[in-house]
Structure 1
Amino acid sequence: MPAISTSSKVLVTGASGYIAVWVVLQLLERGYKVRGTVRSEDKGEYLKELFKEYGDGFEFVIAEDLEKEGAFDEAVKGVDAVLHTASPFHFNVEGDPLGKLINPAVNGTNNVLNSIHKHGDKVQRVVVTSSYAAILDSTKPVPQTFTEEDWNESSPANVEKLGNRQEGSDAYRASKTLAERAAWRFVKEKGTRFDLVTINPPLVLGPAIHEVHSPDKLNTSVANIWNLFHGSKSDGDLPGPAGCFVDVRDVAWAHVESLSNQEAGGQRFGCSNGKWSWQDASDVLSVYDRIPEEWRKSVPVGKRGGGREVVQNDFDGSKATRVLGVKYHSLKDCLEATADSLVDLEQRGWKGIASRQILELGSR
């Protein structure tokens, strides 16, 4: 398929989400027109205020239920591309992994693709936010270096094997794997006029500019950093592996670049800057002087530099650099920007929109 020009209109599903808000901002900065789906009028109005400098470049429509058939029928009309970012990221399965995680992810993806296939006459490219969770297979011996060629086989198998006994983290990995496989299967079986790209990030950190009304409403990944500032870790927790990471601004770049890059069509992109540990996070944040002193004091110090000793899996993100031009933010830059945004949220009482200082952290 040809690349999508910057004069095009793009639909972003789940536009009020942590990653999606940065995607919308970068689209607008490049000159795209953006339509976002949100679950409520309030969420849409927050985005209108956040992006008001772009005038009529941003609009929103309501899609309350990802699983409702036809929920996206109207939203896909008249757009040239779709970025499907809407999918649950949490581990709270409440004894019902299928109902709480797996079905919403799979059915939501199929619903969007069905709507595009039936009503999105102009759509040429669809980019789906998948995950490292669809690639990492935790049953393999450690350490492994995973790439886009790998698939998580064990978590989907556990859906049938374990049923309601499947743990939340494994159910989440299954949901992302099954949703991505459903997307590739849909395109293959339907012979769609649009092509598909998937972006597969590991844990996404970096500044939060989406609407958050209180610390307990933070998205799962950023909440980890907030909790670190508020006593969630001790020295004994620091040596352990934390997995792989990527900055939210780099994930957004990969999504947007996937539209304008003709070569991207039909490909998966692991978007990862490699391994990190909680010791690495402590090395950065325990000495970061732009956060409140009481926050710094709550970060355990551990053994500085000890993160290098941690043995864990890695995720190769070099393809996204090679094809999409992703230039990864360092862990230090990523964590400091995350902290800056948390300070910003606290200073404005968890109300209003992100400050200009935080928004400008996304400028390249």
Structure 2
Amino acid sequence: MHTIQAPATVLITGASGYIAVSIVKELLDRGYNVRGTVRSVVKGDYLKNLFKAHEPRFQYVVVADMSNEDAYDDAIVGVDAVAHTASPATLVARDPQDVIKPAVAGTLNILESVKKRGPSVKRVVITSSCVTCMQPKAGEPLLYTEADWNDHSVNEVQAKEIDVDQPHKYRASKVLAERAAWSWAEKHKTEINFDIVTILPAFVFGPLLNEAKSLSQLNETSRIFYDAIKTEKPPSVATKQFSNLVDVRDVALAHAQAFEVEKAGGQRFIAASVPFSWQAIYDALNSANPPVSNVPKGTPGAPISDRSIFVSEKAQNILGVKFRSLRETAVDMLDDLREKEVQWST
């Protein structure tokens, strides 16, 4: 059996990240012991303070560079499972290899460390992304499932290198990192005592637990949400689908369930709620009860155009995740960001 239960110890890589902090909270709330890797003592101390009510069940270790082959060797000793969330998340890399190499190396390094130093590890849950499914296809709306793989972005990067469109660099990094994990697991299946699971979140919104002392410290998706709500004039493409949405708390729940549900082993799980446009976000906020003030109106009720849907039935049926509504996620995130605005101004 590859599942775990509290009070087992879980290692979470990149523990100070937007998604990772919510995973830490979910696991601590369930009674697990959590060891997080961070890139600096400052980041680790922030988490220690954030989760001080759970001491001594939360500890951190500094892993400055996950690209080093032995980066996780010491961190892995004595843990029962791993959530690997650490990966570059940027849309400004010039050379695609600046994103791809650390993403792939970090994934393979954690697996090698588990193989060498983690005999008690039962399962490794890896945070991938829905972008790994975004292979061009026909249909209206487009439907993506865990059976889809985005070879297109990988091919674009290989053909155009630094001249490739920016989104393909990030997408290729996620595809190649996840595929590297599955290939590694297949190659070493007779040598290891653990299995792997991958979670594929859509565009992640929701309340922030990670540190953000200023607007410039917001993670990528939170900054995109903030800018879209603060705008005085909605963009002309506000009714066009931007992506599919998922609440960060539901992503954390999916990770936690992936540790505890035996049937999850060896599977990919899309974590997605609904397609969204910025107009749909505006409508959700303006129709909230109680109403939310100072939100763009746009063109109320305009339907989403050019829809694509990431099908999350597996996560619902196997992991038991009931995804939050667009309105709940948007309202909670906006409330949180407005609280942070007050802090930034003092």
TM interval, short-chain normalised: over 0.9
User: 1: CA distance between counterparts of 2:51 and 2:275?
Assistant: 34
Distance 1:52 1:280 in 2: 38
1:98 counterpart = 2:106? no
What is residue 330 of structure 1 aligned with on the other side?
325
Give the fraction of aligned pairs with identical amino acids, expressed as a percent: 41
Offset at residue 240 of structure 1 (A): 1.3
Whichever residue aligns with residue 3 of structure 2, its letter is A
Residues 264-303 of structure 1 show CA distances to partners (whole Å, capped at 9, x for unaligned) of 110100111121111101112346688985xx1xx43222
User: What's 2:208 paired with?
Assistant: 208
**Equivalent position of 1:10 in the other structure:** 10
Q: Secondary structure at the match of 1:329?
A: coil
Corresponding residue of 2:257: 257
The offset of 1:114, in angstroms, is: 1.0
1:61–1:75 contact (8 Å) kept in structure 2:
yes
- Candidates 341, 344, 350, aligned match of 2:339: 344
Q: Report how far residue 164 of structure 1 moved.
A: 1.0
Mapping 1:236-275, distance limit 5 Å = 236-275=236-275
SS at structure 2 position matched to 1:348 = helix
Q: TM-score, normalised by structure 2?
A: 0.95
Inter-CA distance 149–350: structure 2 relative to 1 (3 Å threshold): farther
Change in 2 beyond 3 A, CA 1:318/1:172: same
Contact 2:215 2:344 in 1 (8 A): no
Taking a change above 3 Å as real, the CA distance of residues 290 and 74 of structure 1, as seen in their structure-2 partners, is farther
Question: Quick check: 1:86 aligned with 2:82?
Answer: no
**Which SS does the other structure have where 1:37 is aligned?**
strand
C-alpha deviation, 1:138, in angstroms:
3.7
Task: Kindly report the root-mean-square deviation, in angstroms, between the aligned alpha carbons of the 2 structures.
Answer: 1.8
Find the aligned partners of 2:233 and 2:167 in 1 and give their Cα distance.
Answer: 20
Please tell me whether the aligned partners of residues 288 and 327 of structure 2 are also in contact (alpha carbons under 8 angstroms): no
CA distance in 2, matches of 1:19, 1:159: 27
Structure 2 gaps of 5+ residues are none
The answer as to whether partners of 2:11 and 2:34 remain within 8 angstroms in 1 is yes
Is the alpha carbon distance of 1:285 and 1:313 closer, same or farther for their aligned partners in structure 2, counting shifts above 3 Å? same
* Distance in 1 (alpha carbons) for counterparts of 2:69 and 2:316: 37
Check if 1:319 corresponds to 2:318: no
Counterpart residue number, 1:222: 222
Change (3 A) 1:232 1:57: farther
Change (3 A) 1:239 1:48: same
Q: Distance in 1 between matches of 2:83 and 2:147?
A: 22
TM-score (structure 1 length as normaliser): 0.90
1:97 offset after TM fit, Å? 1.2
1:6-155 to structure 2, matched below 5 A, reads: 6-93=6-93, 95-99=94-98, 101-138=99-136, 140=138, 143-155=141-153
CA distance in 2, matches of 1:231, 1:303: 14
8 Å CA contact 2:2, 2:194 repeated in 1: no
* 2:228 and 2:234 in contact (8 A); partners too: no
Unaligned 5+ segments in structure 1 are 352-364
Distance of 1:195 and 1:56 partners within structure 2: 28
Letter of the 1:319 counterpart:
K
For residues 350 and 179 of structure 1, the distance between their equivalents in structure 2, rounded to whole angstroms, comes to 40
In structure 1, C-alpha distance between the alignment counterparts of 2:142 and 2:242, rounded to whole Å: 15
Letter in 1 for 2:158: E
Distance in 1, Cα, partners of 2:164 & 2:117:
37
1:219 positional shift: 0.9
Question: 2-side partners of 1:19 and 1:279: how far apart?
Answer: 25
Aligned residues: 344
Residue pair 1:263, 1:323 contacting (<8 A) in 2 also: yes
2:177 aligns with one of 155, 176, 179: 179
Give the match for residue 299 of structure 2.
303
Relative to structure 2, which stretch is displaced further, 22-31 or 212-221? 212-221
Q: Deviations over 1:314-362 (max 9, x none)?
A: 11011101001101110000001111110121222389xxxxxxxxxxx
Indicate the SS of the match to 2:55.
helix
